[in-house]
Amino acid sequence: MSSSATLHSTAFRLPLAALLTAAALLLAACNQEDSASAQPAAPQPPQVGVRTLHARTVQLSTELPGRTVAYRRAEVRPQVDGIIQKRLFEEGATVEAGQPLYQIDPATYQAEVKSAEAALERARATLAATTTKLKRYRDLISRKAVSQQDYDDLAATQAEEKADVASDEAALEKARINLEYTVVSAPIAGRIGRSSITEGALVTANQASALATITQLDPIYVDLTESSDDLLRTRRAIARGEITVTAKGDLPVRLKVDGVGEYPEEGRVQFSEVVVDETTGTVSLRAVFPNPKQELMPGMFVRGVVSQGEVKNAFLVPQAALQRGTDGAAFVWRIGEGDKVEQRPVTVSRAVGQDWLVTEGLADGDRIAVDGLQRIRPGGQVTPVDLDAKQAPAQPKAGQAPASS
C-alpha cells in the first residue's frame, strides 16, 4: 500500500471516533436530565380566598308585606228627608271639613222652625202671666185675701208652664238643627269620590246608601303583617340588650312599591296588634306615612322595610364562608398563624342581605376562608388570597395619572 493511501485511511478513522465519543457524552447528559426530572416536586399549599373581619354596628331590618289603608274614611249620608236641589262639589276634588256638599229642599224645615218659634212665644207669654198673678197672690195670702190652696195651685201651674217653655225651646232647637241638616256638609277633609245621586233625587235620613265617600290620604296608614314568632324573638332580643333601639322606641319604616321602587317618605310604626291571627299565625303592625303628593292610594300592596334597631360589636360573614357540621352547628374556617386552617364554631343570629350576622365566636381581625373551601383540610396550610385587596381598584402612584380608557 502506498503512503498516500495509508494517510487517507487514518484521516477517515479519526472523525468517526470523535463522533462516537460525542454521541456517548450526549446520551449520558440526557440520562442525567431524565433522572433529574423524575424526582417529584414539593407540593405547594392550595390557594384559598380569605376575608378579614372587623367588628361593626349592624343595623337590623325586616321586610314585611302590607297594604295601604286610608287614614280616615267617611261616608256622606243625609240626616233629614227631602229632595236634593243642588250638588255643591266637583267629583274627585279635595274638600275641607264642614264644606257644603248637597242642598236639600229646606222649605218644610223652615216652616217647622217658624212653628216652633210661635209655640215658644205662646208658652213664654202664658208663663209671664202666671208669674205676675203668682206675685199678687203672694201679697194677698199674707192678708188672708186668698186661700193657701189657690196659691199652691197657681205655683204648680207656673212650674208646668216653665216646663212647657223648656220643651218648646228644645223643639225650636231641633227644628233649627234639622234646617241646618238640609245642607249636607263634609264631615272630614280629604278627597271626595263620585256622587251616587243627582239633583231631584229623594233622600231619607240615615239611608243605607252613601251619597259620596271622602277619603283622607295625607297621612296614610300601611298595615304590615309579621310572623308572631319573629316578633317575639325580636322583643326578647331587645329585652336582653342584644338589640338596641331608640330611646322613644319608635321604629322607622321604608316602603317599597312594586313596579315603582322605594317610596321617598319615611314612616313610623304606630302600634302592633295584641292578638295573633289564628289562621296565619301573624301579627298586624300599623305604620303611618306622610303622603303629601297623594301618590299612595288605599288598597295598594306594598312591602315595608321595618328597622328593628342595631347590634353592636357584630360580624357580617359571607354566606359562602359559613359551614354546618353533622350536628347542625355552624362554623367557619379561620386562617391562623403560619397560614394554617382551624375550625372555629360561631353563633349565627340571622341573615343580613347576602351575609350572616355572627354575634359570638369571632374576634376583630380574624381571617376566614371564603373561596376554595373544598381544598381545605383541618390543620393544613394554605396560601391565602385577600379577596378584599383583589376586588379593590388599583391606585395610581404618587405623581402618576390614572390610565385613560
Give the model's pLDDT for residue 15: 54
Residue 203: closest CA among 88, 102, 91: 102
Kindly state the average pLDDT of the residues 307-336: 88
Homologous superfamily (CATH) of 59-70+217-311 is Efflux pump adaptor protein, beta barrel domain (2.40.30.170)
pLDDT band with cut points at 50, 70 and 90 for residue 34: low
Give the model's pLDDT for residue 389: 76
What phi and psi values does residue 83 have, to the nearest 5 degrees? -100, 130
Q: What is the mean pLDDT of the chain?
A: 84
Give the model's pLDDT for residue 19: 52
Q: 385: burial class by Cβ within 10 Å (0-12, 13-18, 19+)?
A: middle
Asked if residues 126 and 164 have their Cβ atoms less than 8 Å apart, the reply is yes
Residue 55 has pLDDT above 70, yes or no: yes
Give the model's pLDDT for residue 37: 52
Residue 280 has pLDDT above 90, yes or no: no
Give the model's pLDDT for residue 213: 96
Give the model's pLDDT for residue 69: 95
Give the model's pLDDT for residue 372: 87
Kindly state the average pLDDT of the residues 230-253: 74
Give the model's pLDDT for residue 113: 96
Distances (CA, A) of 217 to 92, 190, 301: 13, 7, 16
pLDDT band with cut points at 50, 70 and 90 for residue 36: very low
As assigned by CATH, the class of the 78-104+187-209 domain is: mainly beta
Q: For residue 252, how far is the Cα from the chain centroid?
A: 7
Fold designation for 106-181: Helix Hairpins (1.10.287)
Instruction: Point out the least confidently predicted range of 101-105, 341-345, 371-375.
Output: 371-375
- 21-28 CB contacts, 8 Å cutoff, 24+ apart: none
Kindly state the average pLDDT of the residues 392-404: 46
Kindly state the average pLDDT of the residues 21-27: 57
Kindly state the average pLDDT of the residues 259-273: 87
pLDDT band with cut points at 50, 70 and 90 for residue 28: low
DSSP 229-251: HHHHHHHHHHHTTSSB--SS---
Give the model's pLDDT for residue 164: 94
Instruction: Point out the least confidently predicted range of 53-62, 75-84, 121-130, 163-172.
Output: 53-62
pLDDT band with cut points at 50, 70 and 90 for residue 402: very low
d(CA 368, CA 48) in angstroms, rounded, equals 10
Q: Centre a 10 Å sphere on the Cβ of residue 370 and count the other Cβ atoms it contains.
A: 21
Give the model's pLDDT for residue 351: 84
CATH of 49-58+313-391, one of 3.40.50.11540, 3.40.50.1980, 2.40.420.20, 2.102.10.10: 2.40.420.20
* Percentage of residues of the chain with pLDDT beyond 70: 84
Give the model's pLDDT for residue 301: 94
Element at 30 (helix H, strand E): helix 3-37
Give the model's pLDDT for residue 260: 83
More confident of the two residues 20 and 346:
346
Residue 246 has pLDDT above 60, yes or no: yes
pLDDT band with cut points at 50, 70 and 90 for residue 14: very low
Instruction: Point out the least confidently predicted range of 12-21, 78-87, 177-186.
Output: 12-21
- What ranges do the domains of the chain cover? 49-58+313-391, 59-70+217-311, 78-104+187-209, 106-181
- What digits encode the pLDDT tens for the residues 361-397? 999 999 999 998 888 888 888 888 988 876 555 454 4
d(CA 211, CA 185) in angstroms, rounded, equals 11
